[in-house]
């Protein structure tokens, strides 16, 4: 094992989008490159942690020293996260689809004249909230919030609603999605720390440093 501020710790990270099948060839997804979550996994491994990265479908290489579990749907992601607990830190960065198709078709849906398929959606489990309120709750549970307005206010509400310790909020009204830089606000119970815009790798290292400081010894 590596030495570093997180050595001896297990860090569980979700990243990327989820794909919710409609039929064997179609899906509903969120827009997410997975870059920020993968960068956090890399930084946590560099800091000496054992890292489990539960990844939705993305085109990114596995960072050195990271155990990766590939999933597609939110239900699969929830299952993989349950299986990876316990952890010292959970960082839920994935852009999980809020809904899935109630009954995905076994065969490809065909165009039938002018009749349109009606998709019935049902809600996906909230993985962050389940981890934060579950029996094996890690000592530090962190969520993300991508917002296009009132970033800090929404993140503050989200922190309470989901039972997370911190919410890392970013304004995605600009070029953050799929881009290489990010500016985040760390929303905690008693304060908000705003970091300047930097490459996603530097954001990851800055966050990981703070995770290590916040853990009970
Ligand atoms: O509610 P919203 O999707 O904006 O919350 C974002 C945060 O919640 C992120 O940390 C995301 O990974 C997590 N989340 C989750 N499971 C869901 C929806 C969101 O873990 N079904």
Predicted pLDDT at 217: 77
Measured in Å, residue 128 CA sits from the centre of ligand 1 at 6
- Residue 124: other Cβ atoms inside 10 A: 18
Per-residue pLDDT tens digits for 67-109:
999 999 999 999 999 999 999 999 999 999 999 999 999 999 9
Nearest-atom index, ligand 1, CA of 93: 12
Average pLDDT value over all residues in the chain = 95
For the question of an ipTM over 0.90, the answer is: yes
Q: Is 211 labeled as ligand-binding?
A: no
Nearest-atom index, ligand 1, CA of 167: 10
Strands 66-70 and 50-55: parallel
Q: Where are the extended beta strands (E) located within 56-183?
A: 66-70, 89-92, 99-101, 121-123, 140-147, 166-171, 181-182
78: Cα within 13 Å, side-chain hemisphere: 15
Just list the catalytic residues: 30
Residue among 74, 80, 75 at smallest CA distance from 94: 74
What six digits make up the tokens of 104? 């995905």
Q: Of the residues 143, 150, 151, 155, which should be mutated to test ligand 1's pocket, given the most ligand atoms within 8 Å of the CB?
A: 143
Using CA atoms, how far apart are residues 129 and 121, in angstroms rounded to an integer?
20
What six digits make up the tokens of 151? 């970033």
Q: Who's near 174: CB < 8 A, 6+ residues apart?
A: none
Using CA atoms, how far apart are residues 132 and 138, in angstroms rounded to an integer?
7
Q: Is 175 labeled as ligand-binding?
A: no
Domains defined along the chain, listed by start: 10-103+126-214 (3.40.50.10300)
Per-residue pLDDT tens digits for 42-53:
999 999 999 999
Q: Which residues of the chain have pLDDT under 50?
A: none
Q: Is 5 labeled as ligand-binding?
A: no
């Amino acid at each position: 094992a590596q030495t570093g501020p997180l050595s001896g710790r297990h860090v569980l990270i979700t990243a990327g989008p989820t794909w919710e099948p409609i039929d064997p060839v179609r899906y509903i997804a969120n827009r997410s490159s997975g870059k920020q979550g993968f960068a956090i996994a890399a930084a946590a491994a560099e800091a000496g942690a054992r890292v489990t990265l539960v990844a939705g479908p993305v085109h990114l290489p596995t960072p050195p020293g990271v155990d990766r579990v590939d999933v597609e749907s939110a239900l699969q992601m929830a299952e993989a996260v349950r299986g990876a607990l316990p952890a010292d830190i959970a960082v839920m960065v994935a852009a999980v689809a809020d809904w899935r198709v109630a009954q995905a078709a076994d065969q490809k849906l065909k165009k039938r004249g002018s009749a349109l398929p009606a998709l019935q959606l049902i809600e996906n489990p909230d993985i962050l909230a389940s981890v934060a309120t579950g029996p094996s709750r890690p000592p530090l549970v962190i969520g993300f919030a991508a917002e296009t307005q009132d970033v800090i206010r929404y993140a503050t509400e989200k922190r309470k609603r989901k039972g997370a310790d911190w919410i890392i909020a970013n304004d995605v009204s600009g070029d953050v999605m799929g881009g290489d830089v990010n500016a985040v606000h760390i929303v905690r119970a008693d304060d908000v720390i705003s970091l300047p815009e930097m490459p996603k790798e530097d954001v990851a290292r800055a966050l990981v440093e703070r995770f290590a400081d916040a853990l009970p010894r």
